[in-house]
Amino acid sequence: MKLSRRARNGLMAATAALLLASCSSLNYYRQAAQGQLTLLSDARPIDDWLSDNATDAKLRVRLATARQIRTFAVKELGLPDNNSYKNYAALTRPFVLWNVVAAPELSLKPIQWCFPVAGCVTYRGYYSKEDAVEYARVLREEGNDVSVGGVPAYSTLGWFNDPLISTFIHYPDAELARLIFHELSHQVVYVAGDSQFNESFASAVEEAGVERWLSGYGNDTMRENYLNISARKKQFLSLLLGCRAALEKAYTSKAGVAEKRAAKARLFQKLQDDYQLLKASWGGYAGYDRFFAEPLSNAHLASIATYNDFIPAFRALLAREKTFPRFYAAAKALAELDRDERHRRLKALGGP
């Protein structure tokens, strides 16, 4: 497997981090490097899969659709024209990795971990679910609220050629497009340590991109399905943000610890009950049941605003700039500012 100069530089940065790490950090970086390289080595070009008589007919259709979406991303959205999402890896696990998120018992401020290249983020990713669960156990023993969630895809920010993966290749067409557009957007602009900026930017690109893709390649059924999925997603997010706001109010009140714990239990039970009502209004759609697979905790809601805080601002920026190249240039200019000024300008554009 031949690596690009940028990829080699990324491995050198990771190696340097290994040399400076503690034993626990050393094990974490080792599994991350091994997991990434295994994923890349398992990936084969789409053409190879399509020319292989053993390739399942359904997979052939999905790979052809992904290739068309990838071409659209370059030609119509101005996203990077590189080798990302031109290979496919078939995994034997349901997710490519599992993220561990943690927050204090009576706070919604997530714990951060800092890494080379990516900067400080509010999760630690593990390629083994068992490793993720074990680290979550350690964090819980320290008194934190913790959640472990499967991740179908992630971006290496252009350091490697990110492949299509079996964990998401069978998504509905519009959702597959959404994911590819989102992850490629991280290669356009990324600010180390500013997840609100990064995720909101990528989410805004995916949103605008899917609307354009459906306009050109969708049919009435696909558009209706996309609208239904988007509506449910918006309703579910509203439910979570409402719970988060109520918890924030309880945690910052002058009440004692026992009262705050009681309020926390009551609000999480209300979230469960409200979700059942929402689910019933959807006709029993169970797509969000996985969110409730573990006992609810602050960790479930700690990062929920990260992906959405500045989407309205980026929508306004795209409307102002009119074209994707100009929009990307404006986003890159924001990325050059210090965090406070960057967030101030985004809020002025129509942020939180």
Residue 103 β-bridge partners: 145
Token digits of residue 268: 């999480």
User: Coil, strand, or helix at residue 262?
Assistant: helix
pTM of the model: 0.88
User: Which pLDDT value is given to residue 18?
Assistant: 42
User: Which pLDDT value is given to residue 21?
Assistant: 43
Backbone dihedral angles phi then psi of residue 282, each to the nearest 5 degrees: -90, 5
Query: Does the pLDDT of residue 133 top 90, yes or no?
Result: yes
- Give one DSSP letter per residue of 291-350, joined into a string: GGSS---HHHHHTTTTTTTTHHHHHHHHHHH-SHHHHHHHHHHHHTS-HHHHHHHHHHHH
- Tell which residue, 159, 210, 176, 157, has the closest CA to residue 67: 176
Kindly state whether residue 315 falls inside one of the protein's structural domains.
no
Q: Bigger pLDDT: 300 or 10?
A: 300
**Burial class of residue 346 (count of CB atoms within 10 Å of its CB; 0-12, 13-18, 19+):** buried
What is the C-alpha separation between 341 and 15, in angstroms, rounded? Answer: 34
Percent of the chain residues past pLDDT 70, beyond the cut:
91
Kindly state whether residue 351 falls inside one of the protein's structural domains.
no
Query: pLDDT tens digit string along 190-212?
Result: 999 898 999 999 999 999 999 99
Query: pLDDT tens digit string along 70-119?
Result: 999 999 999 999 999 999 999 999 999 999 999 999 999 999 998 876 78
User: Which pLDDT value is given to residue 305?
Assistant: 66
User: Which pLDDT value is given to residue 121?
Assistant: 87
Give the chain's domain count.
Answer: 1
User: Which pLDDT value is given to residue 19?
Assistant: 40
Task: Tell how strand 164-165 and strand 87-89 pair up.
Answer: parallel
Kindly state whether residue 21 falls inside one of the protein's structural domains.
yes
Lowest mean pLDDT among 130-139, 315-324, 342-351: 342-351
Helix ranges restricted to H, the chain: 5-20, 23-42, 46-51, 57-75, 129-141, 173-185, 195-217, 220-251, 257-281, 298-302, 311-321, 324-335, 339-350
Kindly state whether residue 251 falls inside one of the protein's structural domains.
no
User: Which pLDDT value is given to residue 24?
Assistant: 61
Query: pLDDT tens digit string along 223-269?
Result: 999 999 999 999 999 999 999 999 999 999 999 999 999 999 999 99
What is the C-alpha separation between 126 and 28, in angstroms, rounded? Answer: 8
- Tell which residue, 149, 101, 132, 113, has the closest CA to residue 299: 101
Query: pLDDT tens digit string along 16-53?
Result: 444 444 456 788 999 999 999 999 999 999 999 999 99
Rounded alpha-carbon distances, angstroms, from residue 132 to 36, 150, 324: 16, 10, 38
Give the residue numbers spanning the domain of 159: 5-171
